[in-house]
Structures are given as structure tokens and as C-alpha cells.
Amino acid sequence: MSLAGIDVHVHVHDERARALQGPEAQAKFEQMARYFKREVKHTSVEEQAEQYRSKNMMAVLVNGTDVTVTGRTPIPNDFIAETVQRFPDTFLGMGAIDPWQGELARREIVRMKEMGLIGIGELNPARQHFYPNDPRFYPLWEEAERQGMVVLFHSGYAAAGSGSPGGGGVKLKYCQPMLLDDIAADFPDLKIICAHPSWPWTAESLAIARHKPNFYVDLSGWAPKYFPPEVVQQVNSMIPHKALFGSDAPSLPLERWLADFEQLPLKPDVRQKIMVDNAVKLFGLEDRVAG
């Protein structure tokens, strides 16, 4: 099949999944809605599947957990895996781990692979309070590399907790992209996605993407009209093969992201790479999308 896009960064806002998390998760959901200036509205996975199918697109569902820090119950990885199994033509899936859970997290990586998930993420060090390059967490990245799992890290500014007292306990220092450079160097066969334009450290993620073959950036979480100019310049010239279409939908509406992206001064071949080709290569989808 010929695809119009592969959105590598899509969240689950299904009411059934939220119900599995409890009231604390609903409060966070509402805070994020206020930040993105959108309606507090659940979106079923059926609706999401139809949205992407109608646009001839695929999407990667991501999941996250900060249970050690906050005590909040995450969406079960089983929910993500079951959704992918229900809509295999539309969805791929990434599962959540809490790095502080150590061996339990390592075993969960193996289990996620067995369930058919393709990666780990969205890891959010600002919410999880960990430095990704701390050697204590290296067994996790080693396992991910062994399993052939892509690892997606949040980077830069965090919408979570923004404007709340104390930022809701979210600590931005953990999301500096340069912390990921050690992992990219020490695990050269581990494929890493650095999510978002990484502001206020945008140049760091772009430099690593240029320097490390296994390091990619996704363009999610910001309306493209607000991208820092260096993102457009670098993607259009030095790293067209390392940038990925990601929306952060439904937190940031897919239609809004696509409309803004159309207005960017990108070369046609670069646009095709970002929307489809780079993700096809990263996730090994050549046979699946051929035709």
C-alpha cells in the first residue's frame, strides 16, 4: 500500500483506558487539555483508527508511566498491544516502562516484544526523574537493543505540569537531549527517537541526529508554524533522513499539525522522507507498505 504518512507519536485518550488509571490520571488529562487549549474530550481508539485510515496513514501509539514518582497507574501495555492487534492496518505500538523498576522493567521490555509492540515510549525523564545516561539504567537500553526495540524519549520543555504550582513536580533538567548522546554512542545498534523540537535545547538534538546514525528526531508536540527556524533549516539540508512526522495527537490535533506542516518551506523530497520514508526505514516496514 502507498501511504500518505506515518505518525510516530500518538497518544491514547480512550475513556476505557483512562478508567483503568483512576481519578489522578483524569486530573492530569484535564491539565494537558488546558495547556493545549483543547476541549477535555476522550477519543476512542476506534475513532483514532478511522481518522488515520481515512487519511491513508498509519500511527504509532505511545504509552508512558511515572508510577514510582507519582503513584499514578499507567495505561496497561496490554491495552496498547490489544489495540494494535485489532487495527493492524493502522496502528503500531510502543509500551511504557518505569526505569526505576529495574529488573521488572527489563522483563517488561521482553514481554512487550512478545506482545508485538515495536518500541518503548514515551519515556519522559522530566516526569520520571531520571537521567537517561545514568549507568544504573543501562541494562534497560541493552535489553531494548537486544530485542530490536526503538526507544522514544521526551525532550525539552514539558507540557505536563506547565503552569501548575511547582510545575506539578516535573523537572525539566532531566530532558536535555545531550543526555541521550551517551546512549546513542554506547548502544550504536539501539534506535533512538528524540521527541519534539527539544526547546530550549533544540540545537543539541539536531546535532546528535547529524552525528549519530541511530538517533532520530520527531517533530511532534509543536504546531509546525512555531518550529524554531533551525529545525526547518537543518531538516531541509543536513538531516532530511533523520526527521519523523509526529503530531502528539490528539493532544495537538492532527489536522492542525498537517495544515501547518504544509506551509513549511520544505523540498518535496524532504517532505516525503519526513512523512513516510524515514519511518518506513526506521521501523522496517518496507515489505508492509510496498505496492
Decide which of 291 and 30 is more confident.
30
Better-scored residue on pLDDT, 23 or 135: 135
For 225-243, give one letter per residue: b (16+ CB within 10 A) or e. eebbeebbebbbeebbbbb
Would you place residue 18 in the very low, low, confident or very high pLDDT band (cuts 50, 70, 90)? confident
pLDDT of residue 152: 98
The mean pLDDT of 228-248, rounded to a whole number, is 98
The predicted-structure confidence for 62-84, as pLDDT tens digits, reads as follows 999 999 999 999 999 999 999 99
Q: By residue range, what is the domain housing residue 165?
A: 5-289
23 by Cβ neighbours in 10 Å (0-12 / 13-18 / 19+) ranks as: exposed
- Statement: residue 221 has pLDDT above 80: yes
User: What's residue 13's pLDDT?
Assistant: 93
pLDDT per residue as tens digits for the range 128-183: 999 999 999 999 999 999 999 999 999 999 998 899 999 999 999 999 999 999 99
Tell me what the mean pLDDT of segment 5-14 comes to: 96
Question: Which long-range contacts does 134-138 make (Cβ < 8 Å, 24+ apart)?
Answer: 137/99, 138/186
For residue 146, the domain's CATH number is 3.20.20.140
Confidence grade of residue 38 (pLDDT, cut at 50, 70, 90): low
| Confidence band, pLDDT 50/70/90 cuts, at residue 41 | confident
Q: How many domains does the chain have?
A: 1
Residue the block writes with cell 497518544: 11
Our measurement of the distance from residue 99's CA atom to the centroid of its chain's CA atoms, rounded to an integer in Å, reads 16
Mean pLDDT, residues 224-228? 97
What's the pLDDT at 277?
98
Q: Is the pLDDT of residue 86 over 70?
A: yes
- Give the CA distances from residue 280 to residues 183, 197, 242, in Å, rounded to whole numbers and listed in that order: 23, 21, 12
Is pLDDT above 70 for 44? Answer: yes
- The pLDDT score that the predictor gives to residue 34 is 63
Question: Would you say 289 and 256 are in contact if contact means Cβ atoms under 8 Å apart?
Answer: no
Mean pLDDT of the chain: 94
Q: How confident is the model at residue 26 (pLDDT cuts 50, 70, 90)?
A: low
At residue 58 the predicted structure's pLDDT band, cuts being 50, 70 and 90, is very high
